[in-house]
Structure 1
Amino acid sequence: MSPSAPTRQLARLFGIDPREAEPAAAGALLFFLLFAGYFMLRPVRETMGIAGGVDNLQWLFTGTFVATLAVMPLFGWVAGRVQRRHVLPWTFGFFALNLAGFALGFHWAPDNLWFARSFYIWLSVFNLIAISVAWSVLADLFPIAQAKRVFALMASGASFGGLLGPLLGVILVGRIGHAGLLWLSAALLIAAIYVARRLQRWRDAHPIHAEASAAARARPLGGSPFAGFTDVLRSPYLLGIAAFVLLLASVSTFLYFEQARLVELTYPDRADQTRVFGTIDVVVQSLAILSQLFLTGRLAQRLGIGVLLVAVPLVTVLGFLWLALAPTFAVLAVVMVVRRAGEYAFVRPGREMLFTSVPTQAKYKAKNFIDSVVYRGADAVSGWAKALVDALAQHPALAALIGAAIALTWACTGYGLARAQARQAVADAPLPADAATTT
């Protein structure tokens, strides 16, 4: 059945093949549901992190890393024994049950500091693993040619969700409370499971090659629960992605700590702090949406994924240098907005495209090891490093200069990865350039 005229017009507007409109819309809806639920709770998490004292944030980051280490073998075990098409439903279903438990906890002990810290750590683990699993499925279903066209459009659903989520939190928290927000987030997560199943059925009806067939995805991956770790160690390409994520997380942590410090100084009231965090989220997601819809996919197709992996790190270098000269909240807010919007619009889609060229097991196990353990490990180490720099220097400019050096290394790593991905794609001799024509 040929696509309708409106579908062809929308596909032309967004630079995709008309037959890719259905999966692009489903992927965008998947991320919309996931991110709306997460970002509805994110300002609450940030306020809880400050409630325990900014000086204790590094402990929360360390706790998050330890929790991630504890969870990853369990995920590796599930991914090795569950059919590939069921990995996301099982993972999201488990997290929905967790949200229900925390909702009861918020109802019974809303002011308990240790419960607040536990929720901070849990949400920090949840967001990385859940998002990584969603991208694992997409990297499994779409080859690089299609990924360049549709991944940015799918990521726009995350930005729409990230935009609506904080607004829902602000509007609903007075009516249903924190517990009610968690119940709503759990419901959105369950809806995301249904959308992911629709994507799997679409791929079943439009197979690209034998490995993408329903029979192949019905088989468990097998392997050890620790296969993600060993796969990364054995592959220079995966080690490069791990280094890229480590540097990204380090830059993010340095800026995050500066944000917490300056927000605490500028806005002592906790309600004001939550509103500031929510406002930043709204601005970030608005900018990201426009880029994802009309710019990212076209840049990836015309200039390659290198521009997606390098541009934001270079801009971040300039942002850190500006922050070293003018360490104020206004400057930090601009740098944070530009970096985060750029990460969502360019870096994340580009980074996920890198995984379209790795073996199937690596798309799930190695990818989730990198996205969770490596990321949170970098968070923990960077958090303590930032605290040490602040304690020794007592001047924010030094931390900003160190951040600039890290961001420059991040840019160089992204450039090297883009070249490696291009070489690997040629060596693998994959599908025709326009894979959509075979569907």
Structure 2
Amino acid sequence: MPIALAARLRRLLNVRPGEERVVSLGLAMFMLLFTGYFMLRPVREVMGLAGGVDNLQWLFTATFIATLAALPLFGLLASRLSRRSLLSAVFGFFVLNLLAFALLIQRDPDNVWTGRTFYVWLSVFNLLSISLAWSVLADVFSSAQARRVFALMAGGASFGGLLGPLLGTVLVAPLGHAGLLLLAALLLAGSLLAALSLLRWREREPLNEQRAEQRDKPLGGNPFAGATAVLRSPFLLGIALFVILLASASTFLYFEQARIVASHFPDRTTQTQVFGLLDTLVQSLAIFTQLFVTGRIAQKLGVTVLLVAVPLLIAAGFVLLALSPVFAVFAVVMVVRRAGEYALVRPGREMLYTVVSAEQKYKAKNFIDTVVYRGGDALSGWLKRGLDLLGEHPALAMYIGAGLALLWAWVGLRLGQAQRQREGSSISYAPRDTKPESDPTG
């Protein structure tokens, strides 16, 4: 590529010289991971509806219990293994799980309990694997770098989220569900290789000498250190509350999605097509925002804007749904919520972890992203189900959702302020991002 064209492309994407390879690795890690996940997501949604919309809260509760069971196992591994070994163990375990599910589905594709187990497993896998991938980025990049390139690399997730449903739609007929699981296992293995390459890059170019020496050592502590770290830190507790409110808003909309789609589209094939279409719209909007907008917003206006904008829009969306609960309104609100979460909220949330310790990046972050998130799912799922039983007041759940979204925005505002304060303290690492663009070392 000509030097002038490469320089223009770097400026367009807000990437500094010397960062091209590592940013490409981050893009690949997320693209492969999300392609596999989103290829299987419509299958999970159909399996969830097969048990009845009125039983979704039980699947959410089972997912929370499974997440609780997985937490100490992950904490034990994180305490005893290096970062590279931890990644290999967790991702390798999930690859074996996919192979086992492929075998079970191939033998008995209509087994209800296999479908329910897969629903719960994919919900746990989704949070744990994505949380671990973001932990790698928070460990590899400084806070200043994160503001520029986190959203760009998250664009790989949106591209995977766009490619996955298309692959699933095209390949489900010739490969079957079992074949899709085998392909997802290969994609997950590729994502692992990219993540390991990111860690090796940082080992060659450490942020400081102390981090270079500690990177190959286990994080230490006990299997429950992530939970205790959250309870001891007001900053991490704030992130946990932010995640609970995010999960609550998402769950309210998810249940509304199930109700509206089931009532408007009774055929399973049509349901799968609707879910796939929504995924395609979400990822198309998210990837454009991530590539060209999010990084510049974070760099110029700060993390706070990323954390606050979407909750405010969702609060307005809940009010619209309360006043006009039709599929067209729901589709717009759902697309805005999910695209905004991928393009703004998630990168902003992950930037918060660049100013905490290594143990908190992996253990506390994993606890928040899995147990706290799924706990919020389960509680809000039962709350939404209870509100739905009040048939005389169908809009009540939407107004409560609007209130939760406003509280979510307020917590995001406070977290953004706290992140700015920590960034200048001794907790944050000195940024390697202050060199001029002409410096080839990045």
Q: Tell me how far apart the structure 1 counterparts of residues 431 and 372 of structure 2 sit (CA, whole Å).
A: 34
Q: Partner residue of 1:158?
A: 157
Aligned to 1:340: 338
Question: Mapping of 1:66-215 within 5 angstroms?
Answer: 66-213=65-212, 215=213
Q: Residue 308 of structure 1 aligns with which residue?
A: 306
2:318 match? 320
Distance in 1 (CA, whole Å) between partners of 2:129 and 2:313 is 28
Q: 1:329 to 1:203 in 2, by over 3 A?
A: same
Structure 2 counterpart of 1:84, one-letter code: R
Q: Is the 8 A contact 2:142 2:432 kept in 1?
A: no
Q: CA deviation at 1:394?
A: 4.1
Shift of 1:425: 1.1
Instruction: Say what the alpha-carbon RMSD is for the aligned residues.
Output: 1.5
Structure 1 Cα separation of the partners of residues 432 and 313 of structure 2: 31
The whole-number CA distance in structure 2 between the counterparts of 1:427 and 1:396 is 48
Does the aligned pair in 2 maintain the 1:72–1:369 contact within 8 Å? yes
**Residues 315 and 406 in structure 2, CA contact (< 8 A), matched pair in contact too:** yes
CA positional deviation for 1:325: 0.5
Equivalent residue, structure 2, for 1:27: 26
Q: Please report the TM-score for the alignment, with normalisation by the length of structure 1.
A: 0.97
* Deviation string, structure 1 residues 46-68 (Cα, Å, up to 9, x no partner): 00000000000000000000000
Q: What does residue 45 of structure 1 align with?
A: 44
Aligned residue among 264, 274, 277 for 1:266:
264
For the Cα contact (< 8 Å) 1:141–1:212, is it kept in 2?
no
Identical residues among aligned pairs (%) = 62
1:85 Cα deviation from its structure 2 partner: 2.5
How far residue 283 of structure 1 moved from its aligned partner, in angstroms, is 0.2
| Residues 32 and 161 in structure 1, CA contact (< 8 A), matched pair in contact too | yes
Q: Deviations over 1:107-163 (max 9, x none)?
A: 011101111010000000000000000000110111100001110011000000000
Tell me if the contact between 1:88 and 1:137 (Cα under 8 Å) persists in the aligned partners.
Answer: no
Q: How many residues are matched?
A: 437
| Displacement of 1:395 | 3.4
Q: Give the conservation status (yes or no) of the 8 Å contact 1:284–1:341.
A: yes
Alpha-carbon separation, structure 2, partners of 1:18 and 1:295: 20
CA distance in 2, matches of 1:400, 1:385: 12
What is residue 357 of structure 1 aligned with on the other side? 355
For the 8 Å contact 2:87–2:192, the answer to whether it is kept is yes
Q: Kindly report which structure 2 residues correspond to 1:412-423, keeping only aligned pairs within 5 A, or say none.
A: 412-423=410-421
Aligned twin of 1:283: 281
- Per the normalisation by structure 2, the TM-score is 0.97
Which ranges in structure 2 are unaligned for 5 or more consecutive residues? none
- Give distance in 2, aligned partners of 1:312 and 1:432: 28
Letter in 2 for 1:260: A
Change (3 A) 1:211 1:326: farther
Residue 180 to residue 432, structure 1, CA distance change in 2 (3 Å): closer
Quote the Cα distance in structure 2 between the aligned partners of 1:254 and 1:168. 29
Task: Give the superposition deviation at 1:86.
Answer: 2.3
Query: What displacement does 1:216 show?
Result: 1.7
Q: Which runs of 4+ in 1 moved over 3 A?
A: 3-7, 435-439
For the residue of structure 1 that corresponds to 2:12, the secondary structure is helix
1:353 is displaced (CA, Å) by 0.2
Distance 1:30 1:435 in 2: 26
- Alignment-derived partner of residue 290 in structure 2: 292
Distance in 2, matches of 1:430 and 1:363, equals: 13
Establish whether residue 220 from structure 1 lines up as the match of residue 218 from structure 2. Answer: yes
Task: Give the drift of 1:84.
Answer: 1.5
Alignment partners' CA distance in 2, 1:430 and 1:436: 16
Which is further off, 172-181 or 8-17? 8-17
What is the Cα deviation at residue 23 of structure 1?
1.1
1:86 counterpart SS class: helix
CA distance in 2, matches of 1:32, 1:122: 21
SS at match of 2:266: coil
Specify the SS of the correspondent of 2:389: helix
SS at structure 2 position matched to 1:392:
coil
Change (3 A) 1:385 1:315: same
Q: Which residue of 1 aligns with 2:386?
A: 388
Q: Is contact 1:89–1:193 with CA below 8 Å preserved after alignment?
A: yes
Change (3 A) 1:433 1:305: farther
Alpha-carbon displacement from aligned partner over 1:66-104 (angstroms, at most 9, x marks no partner): 000001100000111111222222111110000000000
| Range with bigger deviation, 349-358 or 87-96 | 87-96
The answer for the alignment partner of 1:247 in structure 2 is 245
User: Matched residue of 2:395: which SS?
Assistant: helix
Cα distance in 2 for residues equivalent to 1:300 and 1:405:
26
Q: Is the Cα–Cα contact under 8 Å of residues 7 and 21 in structure 1 kept in the other structure?
A: no
Q: Would the alpha carbon gap of residues 436 and 270 (structure 1) be closer, same or farther in structure 2, given more than 3 Å must change?
A: farther
| Match of residue 229 from structure 1 | 227
The offset of 1:435, in angstroms, is 4.8
